[in-house]
Amino acid sequence: MRALKSIFVLLISLSFSSVYAQYTEVINSNRPGVSKSAFSVGTGIVQFEAGAFTVKEEHVPLNYEVSGFGLDFALRYGVLFEQLELSLDGKYQNDKITFNNAAISVEDKRSNFKNFTLGAKYLVYDPYKNAEEAKPNLYSYHANKKFQWKSLIPAVAVYVGANFDTKNNPYTAPDVEGFSPKIMVATQNNFNGGWVLVMNLIKDRIGSEFSEFQYIFTLTHSFTPQWVVFGETQGISSDFYADNIFRFGGAYLWTPDFQLDANIGFNTKDTPSVLNIAFGASYRLDFHKDKKIDNGNSAKEEGKRKSRRKKNKKKKSDDFDS
């Protein structure tokens, strides 16, 4: 109980220590990559991110092939504090695996969630919270384009989640079933010129015999207010599956609340080889409201104070006359 109280007090103190809002005028999507930004969507924002992808795998030593499709989604909600975000992530796959190591090929159809995770992310450090420092220099083009050493200090967020895996899932290790913890540290650097670097360090399905470690590095570049391109590398390490996947693609901001994206993903090995082509979209419902701080300096409060002063002055005058 004391530990829970300490965590609650820490969250409260952190929420008041940062005055820079996470809310942005345009949608802040994690797509088209698979990494998570260090920043939340902002309070009052309900955001949907979803996509469809093709599945093509070929395992040369074991002589089998996989073909099919998949759907992935994320529901993000900013609640309580600007730094806090709740999310529900899932990835569903439906495919056919064909074994060619016999005289007659054997096929098997599979389908299930590769992951289904409920979690919370909290921004613990924000080097960009002083908005004045981030304002452009109106008198110097070169000052806006030159490299700033302080941009090497990233924003840092922590994520804690719970996976739910069904029994006899063809995409997970044999002993993975039910609930298992997931933790992550996410960092983000915003550089001049529209460059953003996101890094995720993930420990997934903790407690199982086949728990895995992942790293994700995502570099994005916005060369117009609407168009963004990205490159990403994802490393997966466990006794059940290990891989290095590369992704390249882009996104188009259709409206301030709606984004379209596409990407291609592949690896460089044959145990198995992986090729995915994906298309997706992100949309947000914006119920964000800036909090009003009542410091007693409003016109209404000033009117009340003047009224009280007049009453006190009249009362003193009446007391003197009597």
Q: Per residue in 170-226, pLDDT tens?
A: 999 888 889 999 999 999 999 988 899 999 999 999 988 889 999 999 999 998 989
Q: How confident is the model at residue 312 (pLDDT cuts 50, 70, 90)?
A: low
What's the pLDDT tens digit per position in 233-285?
A: 999 999 899 999 999 999 999 999 999 999 999 999 999 999 999 999 999 99
Grouping H, G, I as helix, E, B as strand and the rest as coil, residue 200 is strand
Best-predicted range by mean pLDDT (69-83, 92-106, 284-298) = 69-83
Residues 7-36 have a mean pLDDT of 66
Decide: 182 and 203 in contact? Cβ < 8 Å.
yes
Grouping H, G, I as helix, E, B as strand and the rest as coil, residue 35 is coil
Judged on CB neighbours under 10 Å (0-12, 13-18, 19+), 16 is exposed
CA distances from residue 43 to 46, 86, 199, 256 in whole angstroms, order as listed? 9, 10, 23, 17
Residue 7: per-residue pLDDT? 39
Residue 25: per-residue pLDDT? 84
**Is residue 21 over pLDDT 90?**
no
Residue whose pair of structure tokens reads 């670097």 in the numeric block: 197
| Region 2-291: CATH code | 2.40.160.40
Nearest-angstrom CA–CA distance, 81 and 88: 18
Q: Quick one: what percent of the chain has pLDDT higher than 90? A: 60
Structure tokens at 195: 């460059």
What's the pLDDT tens digit per position in 85-121?
A: 999 999 999 999 999 887 788 889 999 999 999 999 9
